[in-house]
Structure 1
Amino acid sequence: MLLADLGAEVVRVESPSRDDLVRNMQPQIDGQSAAFRYLNRGKQSITLDLKHPDAVTVIHSLLDEFDIVIEQFRPGVMDRLGLGYEALKQIKPGLIYCSITGYGQTGSHAERAGHDLNFLALSGCASHMGRAAHGPAPLGVQVADVAAGSHPAVIGILSAVIQRDRCGDGAHIDISMADNSMALQALLAPGALNGGAEESYETHFLNGGGFYDYYQTKDQRYIAVGSLEPQFKQRLLETLEATELACLDDMTLKIRLQAIFISEELAVWQARFAEVDACVEPVLSMQEAAEHELFHSRNMILESAQGERQIAPAIRFDNQIPVMPESAPLRGQDTEAVMARTGLKQEELESFRQAGLFG
């Protein structure tokens, strides 16, 4: 999706017989889930049975038109299908081939299954994301899949494109979501690896070990206080009419701040801090965030003529206002058009169709 948002032509290769589970989530829009339509916007879709003996011929023909392959199977699967990097680079030496897996192409866990929760657990992230009284907290954001999977993959692919333009060489990019989850810990991990204390829940200023935290309000909502720097802390306390608390240690201050914030509803605090530059903001629901003036002013929510709303591409060039990307494809809807662009003869394509290669 990120590459498609940036202008790449992306073809999604789908199984003819097994549907993507995300496609069937709720709510549905025109037969596909809202989440699927977001994640697959701007792409084309073809169906292809990769286990069919003729699938290799089709993929080879597609390499005349496409020069980047992204795959997410466990290590060795693409090799067994005859579609591994070493095989395909013989057909296209400048091929950029990106493998995204949980644990990488090598190492002790290469063959092991995993999900976002597992990658955060093994990488050390989950050991300090949560509360002391309850332990690690499952997040509603796929940190490992997105921040440690998709984003490094895009960076690697675009770097490989630059290398190929300069040197003519392709590349096999190995993205491990567990590796990249470990690499996300820029402030906590270096200290622990070099003789410092091993951080746990609510021991570091980033994870609730100070007054940098969320505070409950009278109406059971929450407000985020990030007033770390002295000038922001001063404005926070001035706005709360509590400057006498400036001399307290962080944890004692945190207790006193909670007692203050619980005394009024969120709307009161929003109004009081609206014009105060103190790094204090309300915790909003997704719907509230979509209506917030910040994201309106940034054109971050797009709406189609049919009323579908999506998050806009977050990377901007030259202050251009984003437009709604093309809709996500139905499964296999572009098979005929994409196949027509290959060098395969019509009788070959017809033979493949009859053999059930495309479903």
Structure 2
Amino acid sequence: MREIQGPLNGLKILDFSTLLPGPYASMLLADMGATVLRIESPTRPDLLRSLPPKVGAASAAHATINRNKKSLALNLKDPCAIEIIRRLLSEYDIVLAQFRPGVMAKLGLDYAALQQVREDLIYCSISGYGHSGPLRARAGHDINYLALSGLASYSGRRDGGPSLSGTQVADIAGGAHHAVMGILAAVYRRQCTGRGGHIDLSITDCAFALNAICGANALAGAGEPKLEQELLNGGSHYDYYATADARHLAVGGLEPQFAGRFFQLLGHPDWQQRLLDPEQQPSLKRDIAAVIATRSLDHWLRDLAPLDACVEPVLTFSEAAQSDLIKARRMLCQASLPGGGEQTQINTPLNFGPDKPMRHSAGVQPGTHSDEILRTLGYSAEQIQQFQTQGIIA
């Protein structure tokens, strides 16, 4: 279990989500001390559970993203299960749901229905396109949200078109992080006013909001942002460059002092003057690439070590995990697996002082805490056994 109580100790959340956006959001909340109870189907397991590789019997990704949470497996199509949810609302006053609009309403578990049970309920609905608008009922994934938000149109290379990121930008930076912000804002409002509310969170809305710089420029009349033609998407020397051994350097020195040191290292301090001419950017990048390609990554790193120039190596994940930076920031932790043993996981990036938690509980099997939860709600052993026999719980 976690070694310390986090700043969200006391918040209690019912999490009806699966896959990535919702579970990642509730992982962040649980890492900060909130009590998260996953409501899972006994017959339709979260697809994340089947994602390889496995650590013991569990998916490594599932064990990480669903750490520090409890699990109650309920057949939500049974009225007895709905009554269990209603009882849980006496304790759990925040709901996180991740379905297309209308699904929770059919089950009698939408905000309108549950607010009748708990007036100050905070209810966050994560969906691809929101609960209003022309695409509200449409299915989608991260790639679709990036496409419709405009972000994909200028993320990639001119000769290859849009390219996928190594992580799910819309799902995590859009859906998960905005869900946490929305929930915590709603908690603060409830503390001030006593009112809960419904957060209608569209992942596409959130992805669209990530067009922070290029979108602002376009709305101001600068024209459409294009592939490799903006300051930060490859349209300047701010880019990745291959070394002689097929590794890469990330060159980010935009400011004059950083650019000057970088060009001095390359042996061409005069190239700094070319930064002021947009027409020279393509040829400048070719010249930089030609010089960097003459030496290995290790050679460049030795020269760069004493230099503060915003130039860094592109590390593999394993290299990053073993780096002095990640170790010093305590970004790796251990999680206890349900069947025994431990798994190394990516730790929470949120640090609230000297006592950053370094031990967690990995995600558990569906229904691990069903008996425990139902007993706390006042159900007898006989009732719980009957629920199991009828397939209401697992």
Larger mean Cα displacement after TM superposition, 314-323 or 91-100: 314-323
CA distance in 1, matches of 2:114, 2:124: 12
CA distance in 2, matches of 1:353, 1:304: 30
CA distance in 2, matches of 1:304, 1:29: 11
Residue aligning to 1:80: 106
CA distance in 1, matches of 2:217, 2:265: 35
1:39 aligns with 2:65: yes
Alpha-carbon offset, residue 239 of structure 1? 1.8
Secondary structure in 1 matching 2:232: helix
Alignment of 1:153-168 (within 5 A): 153-168=179-194
1:254 aligns with 2:306: no
Residue aligning to 1:273: 304
AA aligned opposite 1:80: K
Alpha-carbon offset, residue 241 of structure 1? 1.9
Deviations 1:226-284 (A, max 9, x none): 00000000010112222122222333221111001111111111121122110000001
Residue aligning to 2:47: 21
Residue aligning to 2:264: 238
Residue aligning to 1:290: 321
1:107 aligns with 2:142: no
Alignment of 1:292-331 (within 5 A): 292-303=323-334, 306=341, 308-331=343-366
CA distance in 2, matches of 1:98, 1:307: 32
CA distance in 1, matches of 2:58, 2:342: 15
1:342 aligns with 2:384: no
Residue aligning to 1:210: 236
CA distance in 1, matches of 2:68, 2:58: 15
AA aligned opposite 2:47: L
Conservation of the 8 A alpha-carbon contact between 1:64 and 1:342: no
CA distance in 1, matches of 2:182, 2:216: 23
* Structure 1 residue ranges without an equivalent (≥5): none
Conservation of the 8 A alpha-carbon contact between 2:150 and 2:208: yes
CA distance in 2, matches of 1:324, 1:237: 45
Conservation of the 8 A alpha-carbon contact between 1:16 and 1:49: yes
Conservation of the 8 A alpha-carbon contact between 2:371 and 2:384: no
Alpha-carbon offset, residue 350 of structure 1? 3.8
Deviations 1:10-64 (A, max 9, x none): 0111110112221111111121111111100000011101112222101001111
Residue aligning to 2:213: 187
CA distance in 1, matches of 2:192, 2:392: 38
In angstroms, what is the RMSD of aligned CA positions?
A: 1.4
Conservation of the 8 A alpha-carbon contact between 2:334 and 2:360: no
Conservation of the 8 A alpha-carbon contact between 1:45 and 1:330: yes
CA distance in 2, matches of 1:118, 1:72: 17
CA distance in 2, matches of 1:309, 1:115: 28
Deviations 1:107-160 (A, max 9, x none): 100000000000000000000000000000011211011000010100110111
Secondary structure in 1 matching 2:359: coil
1:144 aligns with 2:175: no
AA aligned opposite 1:194: A
Alpha-carbon offset, residue 347 of structure 1? 4.7
Conservation of the 8 A alpha-carbon contact between 2:244 and 2:297: yes
* Structure 2 residue ranges without an equivalent (≥5): 1-26, 275-279
Conservation of the 8 A alpha-carbon contact between 1:61 and 1:343: no
Alpha-carbon offset, residue 296 of structure 1? 1.0
CA distance in 2, matches of 1:291, 1:133: 35
Conservation of the 8 A alpha-carbon contact between 1:65 and 1:342: no
Alpha-carbon offset, residue 345 of structure 1? 4.8
Residue aligning to 2:37: 11
Residue aligning to 2:78: 52
Secondary structure in 2 matching 1:13: strand
Secondary structure in 2 matching 1:263: coil
TM-score by length of 2: 0.88
AA aligned opposite 1:325: H
Alpha-carbon offset, residue 205 of structure 1? 1.1
Secondary structure in 2 matching 1:352: helix
Alpha-carbon offset, residue 196 of structure 1? 1.6
CA distance in 2, matches of 1:345, 1:165: 35
CA distance in 2, matches of 1:87, 1:19: 25
Alpha-carbon offset, residue 353 of structure 1? 2.5
Deviations 1:51-104 (A, max 9, x none): 122221010011112111101111011111011101101100011101000001
Conservation of the 8 A alpha-carbon contact between 1:65 and 1:341: no
Secondary structure in 2 matching 1:99: strand
Conservation of the 8 A alpha-carbon contact between 1:47 and 1:358: yes
CA distance in 2, matches of 1:211, 1:141: 24
Alpha-carbon offset, residue 308 of structure 1? 2.0
Q: Percent identity?
A: 44
CA distance in 1, matches of 2:302, 2:187: 49
Number of equivalences: 359
Alpha-carbon offset, residue 303 of structure 1? 3.4
Alpha-carbon offset, residue 352 of structure 1? 2.5
